[in-house]
Amino acid sequence: MKRIFAILLVMVSTLAQAQKSTLEKVEPQINQVRAALLESAKPFTRSLLIDELVEKMEMHDVDVIVTTKSVPGGAMYFPGIILVGVDVIGLPRAQLAYVLAHEYGHHTRMHWTSTLSRGAGLAYAAGKEWSTFEEISKFTDQAMTPEFCRSNELDADRAAVLLLKSFGQYDQKAVASLLSKIAEPSDTDTHPSASTRIAAMAAIH
């Protein structure tokens, strides 16, 4: 049993090193994609309420950027940035705070990194080594199963609720009302249903 445990430790260590190496290799390309994303989102604008909420919730380790264009889902997280679309900047304070906190939850829970790491693990298991986004896509697509994606969304919701509560910004009814309008009524490949998310957040204490 001890020998098996030792072998498992070596395997986990080797896999972790492979993942770290892969993530380091693709960092320049991540930076390029981020730059391209920001370029496509121009022109930018400012929202005093968003600035206030970012300061209030101490979201200082990401850049929160407001675009004058629409963003799928209203807002999105990409490593280093939260991009907020023009369609949501007019939301009431409590709802806008939730949108920001949810995307920030993806950051604090390191969902993007875990997706790449899962892809790296699949590639390593297949005896492959990838160092470009073209090579990554095959394995990250395999890693991003509906269950994995929906779990990440619920995790980001949980992180958002805890963050909002810690700063006295959480309004459960306002958030439930927003999700009832913008979230899908049934599970999708990327998100749980509105009712699932509302129930999950209501159970957080």
Helices 146-166, 111-125: inter-axial angle, 10-degree rounding: 150
Contacts of 138 (CB under 8 A, 6+ apart): none
Question: Residues near 60 by Cβ (< 8 Å), separated by ≥ 6?
Answer: 54
pLDDT of residue 121: 67
pLDDT digits 0-9 by tens, 13-57? 333 444 555 567 777 878 888 899 999 999 999 999 999 999 999
For residue 128 the two structure tokens come to: 């492959």
**pLDDT above 70 (res 12):** no
| Torsion sign (Cα): 173, 148, 87, 81 | positive
Task: Tell me the angle at which helices 133-143 and 111-125 cross, rounded to the nearest 10 degrees.
Answer: 100
Q: What is the pLDDT of residues 48-92, one digit of tens each?
A: 999 999 999 999 999 999 999 999 889 999 999 999 999 999 999
The tokens of 43 are what?
Answer: 């022109």
**Tokens (6 digits) for 166:** 């810690």
Residue 37 vs residue 113, higher pLDDT: 37
By DSSP bridging, strand 44-45 and strand 75-78 are: unpaired
pLDDT band at 112 (very low <50, low <70, confident <90, very high): confident
Using a pLDDT cut of 90, give the percent of the chain over it: 62
